[in-house]
Amino acid sequence: MWQLIHKLGSPSFFYTKSKYFTPWVFCGFIMFLLIGLLQGLYLSPIDYQQQDAVKIMYVHVPSAFLALMIYSLIGINSILYLIWRVKLLDVMASVSAPIGAGFAGIALLTGAIWGKPMWGTWWIWDARLTSTLILLFIYFGYIGIRSAIPDLKLSAKCAAIFGMLGLVDLPVIHYSVNWWNTLHQGSSVIKFAKPDIETGMLYPLVFMLLAFILFYVFLLLTYARAELLWRERNTAWARKFIME
């Protein structure tokens, strides 16, 4: 068991194995994306109130989900990195952060585009919107640490500690914002209680979610491979790959 984990954490093992893995992930992503888009855009029922605008959901919900998921992964990675100092975990976390920030940005942007026809406003200081925005700020801070500290080991440690701190603080932020808004504006907030979603809408949503997750995995593997090769450029195994 320990040997397996040790092997998985070794950069050269990851680099050689992920090479065969990446194209399949990409194929899976394209497949789920096509199914999801086809079902979502053509076959899914139209909401009786929102009409065609409801179709933004198929991009909005998965990207919001991924923004949170990626941050949780970064946080867990950070804790594991602080315990075991596996280089690979640090590489994963460092390349995940810009991707996660991108998804958070997409979620906010599509949310605004969706909100304009539905609620009549681009932005409200609703709890979910606010906490997604703060999540984006935390991503920026995390990326800021990575880019500001030139020493790799130090930046890995600082980023890991900040990532862990963010993981602990995010639920607190979410609940405090939630509580504050219900206290503060109560009835004036436009309620968007989750409608009981219909199966016709649920399936394309699930497919899109799978597609987005595979897309993330694909990006993660690609960037992690590049980053790994760059960091290990002076070792024997990396030289061998570069020569080829």
Q: At its nearest, how many Å lie between another protein and the CB of residue 104?
A: 12
Q: At its nearest, how many Å lie between another protein and the CB of residue 170?
A: 9
* Structure tokens given for 5: 């984990």
Q: At its nearest, how many Å lie between another protein and the CB of residue 80?
A: 16
> What single-letter amino acid sits at 115?
G
Residues 130-189 close enough to bind another protein by CB under 8 A: 134, 137-138, 140-141, 144-145, 148-149, 151, 153-154, 157-158, 161-162, 165-166, 169, 172-173, 176-177, 179-180, 183-184
Query: In Å, how far are 57, 120, 141, 242 from 113, measured between CA atoms?
Result: 11, 10, 26, 45
Helices 2-9 and 11-38: angle between axes, nearest 10 degrees: 80
* 21 or 137: CB nearest another protein: 137
* 10 or 176: CB nearest another protein: 176
* 183 or 236: CB nearest another protein: 183
Q: At its nearest, how many Å lie between another protein and the CB of residue 30?
A: 36
Binding status of residue 79 toward another protein by CB under 8 A = no
* Structure tokens given for 197: 């979603």
Q: At its nearest, how many Å lie between another protein and the CB of residue 172?
A: 5
CA dihedral (111, 117, 121, 125) in degrees, to 10, reads -40
* Total residues belonging to the chain: 244
Q: At its nearest, how many Å lie between another protein and the CB of residue 12?
A: 26
Please say whether the beta carbons of 129 and 107 come within 8 A: no
* 60 or 174: CB nearest another protein: 174
Say how many CA atoms lie within 13 Å of 70 toward its Cβ: 33
Residue carrying structure tokens 């020493």: 151
Cβ count near 134 (within 10 Å): 17
Judged by the rule CB under 8 A, the positions of this chain that interact with another protein are: 134, 137-138, 140-141, 144-145, 148-149, 151, 153-154, 157-158, 161-162, 165-166, 169, 172-173, 176-177, 179-180, 183-184
